[in-house]
Amino acid sequence: MKKLMAIILILFMSFVPVLSYPGNVFASEDIDVEEDYEEEYAEEENGEEENGEEAAEEETTEAQPEGHNVTTTTGDVMVPVDENGWPIAPEVISGSVMMVEVNTGAVLYTKDEDVQRYPASTTKILTCLIALENCSFTETVTFSENAVTLEEGATSIDAVEGEQMSMKDCLYGLMLPSGNDCAIAIAEHIAGSVEGFAEMMNARAAEIGCEDSNFVNPEGLFHRDHYTTASDLCKIARVAFNNSAFVEIVSHVTYTIPETNKSEPRLIENTNYMIDPTSSYYYENIVGGKTGYLYESGRCLVTLAKKNGLTVVTVVMFCSNYTGVFIDTEELLDYVFNGFALNNIAETESRFTYSCDASKIKLDATAQILMPRQLTMTDLVSDIEFTYDMDMDEFAEASEKAGITSRDGRHLYAIINYYYANNYLGHVNVLIDDNLQVPKAVFASTTYVNTFWVILFTAVFIALVILISVLISKAPERRRKRKTKIVQTQTPDGQPIPLNIINARTQTGMTQTSTTRGKTTRVRVEEEIPVRRRSSSGSRSKPKRK
């Protein structure tokens, strides 16, 4: 019993330090970061061909949604928030929308983002990206008969067969006035044919992570099998906007194509009026983007905007009128820039603790998350993904995304993800010295209560109490069993032994069979323990036989 009590004491003491950890950081839950919107897209209107003619510029206004009485202020701008403290997004008329903060990956707004749409000339974002990844600006592109033979109303730079210009000039002609002739000439220059280039487009889209897209041409003219989604187009745009040459091109309001072998210099203009200071649709924080229009696709617009450290990609598709894409984009950007702010995690996070040398474990100093302005870190929910739980491919991918190489002297130890009101806000990488191996249990977060450990400790304690009770109740029986002996009841050839021959000191009422020396059985019977008495001379007397 003393040994048993010692074991229980040791187990109890082993759980005491566990309870001192703030919480269960190993449990994680699947969080749906997509928002559902019930507003359906209004009927598509008839319009003019892609970037071809001017449309009516009558502006429409949307009623501001009513929000909770709590507001955040940025200058003179009031941003309504809902009952959870999340800024209320504006209602939009575009059929599909995807809005992402690039640095954190935070999804800020979605609407039918996975519905397949015809992308029109926003296709040219992928065309330009592939060209930049496979060519130099100085390469010479020759326009074929196929490149300059376009359907009526298609936008172009009016190139002629046999005309030659640099790849750089072709890309400006592709992205600013949305030249379809430039798109075909670039495709033929790189892949030899439009069909071959389409294969490259689909392969690159798959590498980027597109799952619901298919491209059959480089310019985006209507084809039933040429489609994408706002979500996929946003992924493509994020990669493209990460290319400095791409950003340089789409940020130009105008560009002059030098004289060629077939033409005088050309002045071309950008169809994205939101970067033109002279336009009524000008938005000063938009860096660049790409427009798109077909009767089948409606109005489309992809933009990159930057303000207060935020970098936002906005995709609006399937809009019913010319002005709608500009108004939707403007209102969405106001909502983000006035309602959210970046927060450096390493500077403000204080809920994570270490039980070893903290100088060898660091939060990535550059990591930031996007938060509603009125919230603090204590308002957020977080979970931890340990790299110990990853296979080699997952670890390599996570390290690559974190920008960590073997030369850094540190490796990726864990990833902390942050959420609020079921919205993903961003993550921070936990880095550890290469020569330090740290178990999970030394890294804990107070974002979870101690419920897990309390339940575990209580269950173990109850189990120990039950075990003690059972052992105590069995003690008399064990003592009785120690007073028993095993006697043989059969001979080696299987013949029974008469009971009167069995040792006279045993009682024969209790039997139990077992095996010994061949096929014999034994019985367990209670043994009468004779009492040895001392003789009058002081010596022990032998028990008398019956």
DSSP 152: T
* Contact between residue 299 and residue 322 where contact means Cβ atoms under 8 Å apart: yes
Residues, the chain: 546
- Rounded distance, CA 381 to CA 45, Å? 44
Helix (H, G, I), strand (E, B) or coil at 538: coil
Respond yes or no: is residue 178 known to be catalytic. Answer: yes
Rounded distance between C-alpha atoms, residue 39 and residue 81, angstroms = 19
279 Rama class: left (phi>0) / alpha (psi -120 to 50) / beta: beta
- Given a contact cutoff of 8 angstroms between Cβ atoms, the answer to whether 132 and 247 are in contact is no
Q: Is 362 a catalytic residue?
A: no
Check 94, 111, 124, 235 and give the catalytic one: 124
Cβ(254)–Cβ(268) below 8 Å:
yes
The catalytically annotated residue of 96, 121, 166, 213 is: 121
517 CB burial (10 A radius; 0-12, 13-18, 19+): exposed
Q: Give the integer Cα–Cα distance in Å for 388 and 432.
A: 13
CA separation for the pair 255, 119 (Å, rounded): 25
Other CB atoms within 10 Å distance of the CB of residue 258: 12
Known catalytic membership, residue 121: yes
Query: What is the distance between the terminal CA atoms of the chain, rounded to a whole angstrom?
Result: 39
Catalytic one of 96, 156, 166, 178? 178
Phi, psi (5° rounding) for residue 361?
Answer: -125, 125
Three-class SS of 15-58? HHHHHCCCCCCCCCCCCCCCCCCCCCCCCCCCCCCCCCCCCCCC
Closest to 172 (Cα-Cα) out of 143, 132, 201: 132
The token duo for 376 is 């603090």
Q: Which residues are catalytic?
A: 121, 124, 178
